[in-house]
Amino acid sequence: MATKPCLRMSDLRRGLAVLLFILLLSPMGGLAQVRIKDIADVEGMRENQLVGYGLVVGLNGTGDKLRSAVFTRQSLIGVLERLGVNTRDQERQLDTRNVAAVMVTANLPAFARTGSRIDISVSALGDATNLTGGMLLVTPLLAADGEVYAVAQGPIVTGAVSARGAAGSVTRGVPTAGRIANGATVEREVAYSFAGGDRLRLSLRNPDLTTARRIAAVINGSTGGNPATATDPRTVSVSLTGRDSVAFIAQIEQLRVQPDQIARVVIEEASGTIVMGANVRLSTVAIAQGNLTIRITETPQVVQPNALAGGQTAVVPRTNVEVDDQADRRLGILRGGVTLEELVRGLNGLGVGPRDMITILQTIKAAGALQAELEVR
């Protein structure tokens, strides 16, 4: 008769240790942690804005009016002259609606090389009504230093729908703005090299001293030395001495930290949007909310006398006045140190809508009970 194996206490402890190690390495254990590359940028690795002025041709009668858009007429004459067509003598006879002046914008990515392609955006500059189906002519794109870094050309895609009839029109989207995928070719590079320096700086997208110190601690812990130092709430300086710059930066980007944030409440009054951070806290406060509503309803009645009475038909006013002071609302108490979830639940329990909640939060802040930064936009 076979005997069943006995599970020893040492095996059980070893199994529990392995299970705990797996749980710590699982994604659930790092829900609050993010990669450094998602919250910080390497100084110098950034985009550059480009802008240019060009002409769009091939429009179906939806372009600029040349008599009112003087810059479009002058640009069209200049383009034709460069192509060997003289229109100076017939300048006043130009009356096409198939040409539009546009502004072309693009972002030149970091480390973009000569010959690579980038996307561009095109926006009408004059009184053109629709750029759909148009073709952008060769347009140089300049940076802030006045140098040409890319050249754009290609068919425009607006993604908009516009239809017009004799008595009405329908427009969806913005037909006077569009994009050209891979519509520009890079002609000049922005020089930058990691190998030229012995230090790099990480710039936090949301400046915070605690997060900066945590990033420095994680980098130092992963390298076994002290190459990283938090110099201010936005910057972490990292030494590259004796290291492969690209490999070391790639290693740093994959490290995970738990970012910290200040307690903040952001209110967008135009749309009634309220966003609260997880660290928002309240001191003990009592809240009562209610509005006085007076509703007046006029229901006039017509009085018709009998046929033999000899009177006249008259309209008798009838007015009904209702006053709603929302007496059913009660005074609610929110205890000190409540969390974000408890705050929202408490305000919703009072039947408070988003618009009224904005006023309540502003009043709580004025009373000194909201332990958070209140930002109203």
Express each pLDDT in 194-241 by its tens digit.
Answer: 656 688 889 999 899 999 999 999 999 988 888 999 999 999 999 988
Q: Indicate whether 309 belongs to any domain.
A: no
Same domain membership, residue 270 and residue 238:
no
C-alpha 28/C-alpha 185 separation (Å) is 44
In this prediction, residue 80 carries a pLDDT of: 87
Same domain membership, residue 233 and residue 213:
yes
Residue 26 pLDDT > 50: no
Mean pLDDT of the chain: 79
pLDDT-derived band at 292 (thresholds 50, 70, 90) equals: very low
User: Following DSSP, what letter does each residue of 126-191 receive, concatenated?
Assistant: SS-S--TT-EEEEEEEE-TTS-EEEEEEEE-B---EEEE-SS-EEEES-TTEEEEEEEEEE-S---
Residue % of the chain over a pLDDT of 90: 30
Question: Which residues, 6+ apart, have CB-to-CB distance to 276 below 8 Å?
Answer: 264, 265, 266, 340, 343, 344, 372
Same domain membership, residue 113 and residue 79:
yes
Question: Which residues, 6+ apart, have CB-to-CB distance to 317 below 8 Å?
Answer: 298, 300
Q: Indicate whether 5 belongs to any domain.
A: no
Q: Indicate whether 57 belongs to any domain.
A: yes
Question: Which residues, 6+ apart, have CB-to-CB distance to 120 below 8 Å?
Answer: 104, 105, 106, 141, 152, 179, 180, 183, 184
Residue 123 or 240, more confident: 123
Same domain membership, residue 52 and residue 182:
yes
> Partners of 373 in the beta sheet?
264
Taking residues 311-315, report their average pLDDT: 73
Domain that holds residue 229: 195-257
Taking residues 160-169, report their average pLDDT: 72
Taking residues 264-269, report their average pLDDT: 82
For residue 278, the Cα-to-chain-centroid distance in whole angstroms is 20
Residue 224 or 298, more confident: 224
Same domain membership, residue 324 and residue 246:
no
pLDDT-derived band at 20 (thresholds 50, 70, 90) equals: very low
What is the helix, strand, coil percentage profile of the chain, to 5? 25, 35, 45
Domain count across the chain? 3
In this prediction, residue 35 carries a pLDDT of: 92
Residue 4 pLDDT > 50: no
For residue 185, the Cα-to-chain-centroid distance in whole angstroms is 27
Same domain membership, residue 86 and residue 207:
no
Residue 377 or 26, more confident: 377
Residue 301 pLDDT > 90: no
Q: Which alpha helices (H) appear in 226-353, and where do they start and end? A: 245-253, 340-349
Q: Indicate whether 318 belongs to any domain.
A: yes
pLDDT-derived band at 27 (thresholds 50, 70, 90) equals: very low
Residue 49 or 261, more confident: 49
